[in-house]
Structure 1
Amino acid sequence: MPGRPKDLDPSASPRAMIGAELRHARENAGLSQAELGEPLFVSGSFIGQLEAGTRRLHLEYAVQIDEILGTNGFFARNCKALAKSKYPDHFAEAAEAEAIATAIREYAPLLIPGLLQTDGYARAMFRGGRPTTTEDTIDDLVATRLERARLLDDPTTPLLWAILDEAVLRRKVGSAPVMAEALRHITGLARRHRIIVQVLPFTAGAHMAMEGPLKLMTFEDAPPLAYLQGLGTGRLEDDPASVAHHDLTFHLLGASALSAQESLALVDSVAEDYAHVEQP
């Protein structure tokens, strides 16, 4: 029987660490991923995603895993620590997966994606959605959003490919100068070859993602995930058929969108329009 594992420090790559401990404990118990998943009524691939750190271990599974592997409550204890997140419950697991993804592809129908937002844009967006919230809370939300965006400080990973609906450019979030800065931030990243950006113009008409945003994430050693978000809700999907359908949706959006060069020209043009708006 494996010795009692040391409790993890949840501040240091928590899901990757607990995933590594899960793999270690499972292998010491002589179980395959499928064999561990069977009494939990989950697939072996789901256990693999837990071990790779692309899925969060929830308490109901942690308690059963401790019983099966004889790990003295280790996974239940650390699961409670991992559940503490600075992100909303419906987005926390997706944000954690995003942080270890090798590629992120996102369709944004209404807002600039969080990873591409500037301080001014994020502040105006949060204030618009929370008109009675204190300024300190808004500051915390903005800081968390900008911290997420530091994923792009790495020069190559993750690959980020964003398809923006034309509505994202036209909807003024905050003031005209805020929009000009936000759009120039996007074109700057694109021109530095850090991201790929396309614009889906209004003239494209109806398409497969008219019901909402879509985020696809791929990983080095785990199956891809899709994240679908609604008003105050979000769902992370790993079913291969569903992910394949969403992957097709994204590629069809890309086929209907403007080319990268045409997209940059349009974003530049709209940014210039905002920059020349006279302020009261």
Structure 2
Amino acid sequence: MAKTPLDPSSSMAALYGVHLKRLRERRGWTQRDLAARVFVSPGRVAQLECASGARPTAELTRALDDALEAGGLLVDLWPHVYRESFPDWARRFMELAARAVLIREYASQAVPGLLQTEAYAREVLRVGRTVTSPQVLEERIVSRLARQARLGESDAPELQAILDEAVLTRRVGGDGTMHEQLERLRLACGQHTVQVLPFTSGAHPMLGGSLTILTMPNGTEVAYAEGADQGQLFEEPSDVDLCVRAYDQLRADSLPVVMSARKIANAAEGYRHGGSERRALARKQLQQSRGRQLRRGGGRLPGRRSGA
């Protein structure tokens, strides 16, 4: 029984697969021939051509495009294939973010993706519930780093970031990872508007969540609120206005730019040469010492006083 041809209009992954198969057959190669040229198994090529299995990584796509001399066709399709694995609202947000002229972010738990180092991004992404395999992890890392490239382009958006103080103190990865990441943030203070929301600011409307507000070229705004592995996109003006007011409150409660840069620099210095590990060891030793003192001095009945 003949296999039903893949419908290229059914999904972006199917369109990618149809083009991949067409390019391969045009060169007279088998799936095994192509697989050998890009260092994957023939089964992986078959998966891509059938739009089954894991999505292709950006690195594999570039290798396939080069091997098949596709002139960038597969590379151009890849972002659309990748975004297809996200919910509709997430894809919509990613598309809008790619066109925004102003990005305002409040990060409550981790450094914003646009400012993450690769090592830090790897640590953050690998614990996400939606990362189901090492291949998906690599896809997410490549995509995140690719989005950062826009900040270096001539039409780069203005970036304003508010970091909860918890972002500076939460140890993600080792001391080396944290030191590199905070140094990256310190340098970003000279390129973007970066402020720190101190613990002393107290309660605020975005406790436990993060917020991004995008301003589009036509002046319209959208907002995106995010929690653990879930988010919500707001496009209704009344909803966006509430988010903008919450962001303005966070900004008013944050440290000034110069003081924020100094706090980030001090935090980075604290992770230099294993600083946090030494502090953790010192605290552990102090706790053990106190425990020994309590064991030596505790458990004894008070001495009976003479004449009692």
TM-score, length-normalised on structure 2? 0.60
Whose Rg is larger? 2
Where does the alignment leave 5 or more consecutive residues of structure 1 unmatched? 1-6, 11-80
User: Which one of 239, 244, 253 corresponds to residue 242 of structure 1?
Assistant: 239
Q: Which amino acid aligns with 2:172?
A: V
Match for residue 251 of structure 2 among 254, 266, 269: 254
Secondary structure of the corresponding residue to residue 194 of structure 2: strand
Residue aligning to 2:98? 99
> RMSD between aligned alpha carbons?
2.7
The residue identity in structure 2 corresponding to 1:96 is E
Change (3 A) 1:237 1:83: farther
In the alignment, is residue 263 of structure 1 matched against residue 233 of structure 2?
A: no
Question: Is the aligned partner of 1:220 residue 2:228?
Answer: no
Shift of 1:129: 3.0
| Mean Cα deviation higher: 230-239 or 262-271 | 230-239
Moved more, 261-270 or 210-219: 210-219
| Cα displacement (A) at 1:230 | 2.3
> What displacement does 1:221 show?
1.5
- Does the CA contact (< 8 Å) of 1:86 and 1:144 recur in 2? no
For the residues of structure 1 that align with 2:182 and 2:85, how far apart are their CA atoms? 25
- Say if 1:265 and 1:216 are closer, same or farther in 2 by CA, change over 3 A: same
Residue 172 of structure 2 corresponds to which residue in structure 1? 173
* Cα gap change, 1:276 to 1:140, in 2 (>3 Å): same
Aligned to 1:149: 148
Paired residue secondary structure (1:129):
coil
* Residue number in structure 2 paired with 1:85: 83
**In 1: Cα distance, 2:107 partner to 2:154 partner:** 23
Superposition deviation, residue 128 in structure 1: 2.9
Contact 2:130-2:229 within 8 A present in 1 as well: no
* Mapped contact 1:200–1:253 kept (Cα < 8 A): yes
Aligned to 1:139: 138
CA 1:132 to 1:229, structure 2 compared with 1: closer, same or farther past 3 Å? closer
Aligned to 2:128: 129
Distance 2:158 2:81 in 1: 27
Separation in structure 2 between the aligned mates of residue 175 and residue 131 of structure 1, nearest angstrom:
23
Q: What does 1:2-81 correspond to in 2, within 5 Å?
A: none
User: How much has 1:154 moved relative to structure 2?
Assistant: 2.1
Preserved CA contact (<8 Å) 2:234 2:240? yes
Aligned letter for 1:198? Q
The one-letter code sitting in structure 1 at the alignment partner of 2:212 is K
For the 8 Å contact 2:197–2:250, the answer to whether it is kept is yes
Matched position secondary structure for 2:183: helix
Question: CA 1:87/1:169 → structure 2, altered by over 3 Å: closer, same or farther?
Answer: farther
Structure 1 residues 82 and 116, CA gap change in structure 2 (3 angstroms): closer
Aligned residues: 201
- Decide whether aligned partners of structure 1 residues 84 and 150 sit closer, same or farther in structure 2, where only a CA change above 3 A counts: closer
Post-superposition offset of 1:222? 5.1
1:74-128 C-alpha deviation (Å, 9 max, x unpaired): xxxxxxx968626622522111110000000010000111111110000111223
The answer (yes or no) to whether the contact 1:104–1:216 under 8 Å persists in 2 is: yes
Q: Which residue of 2 aligns with 1:186?
A: 185
Give the AA of the match of 1:150.
A
| Alpha-carbon distance between aligned partners in 2 of 1:103 and 1:127, rounded to the nearest angstrom | 29
Write the distance in 2 (CA, Å) between the matches of 1:251 and 1:131. 31
Secondary structure of the residue that 1:258 maps to in structure 2? Answer: coil
Which deviates further from its counterpart, 122-131 or 203-212? 122-131
1:156 Cα deviation after fit = 6.0
1:108 corresponds to which residue? 107
The aligned counterpart of 2:56 is none
Distance 2:242 2:216 in 1: 18
**Percent same amino acid among aligned pairs?**
34
Q: Is the partner of 1:276 in helix, strand or coil? A: helix
Aligned partner of 1:88: which letter? F
Which among 255, 260, 276 is matched to residue 273 of structure 2?
A: 276
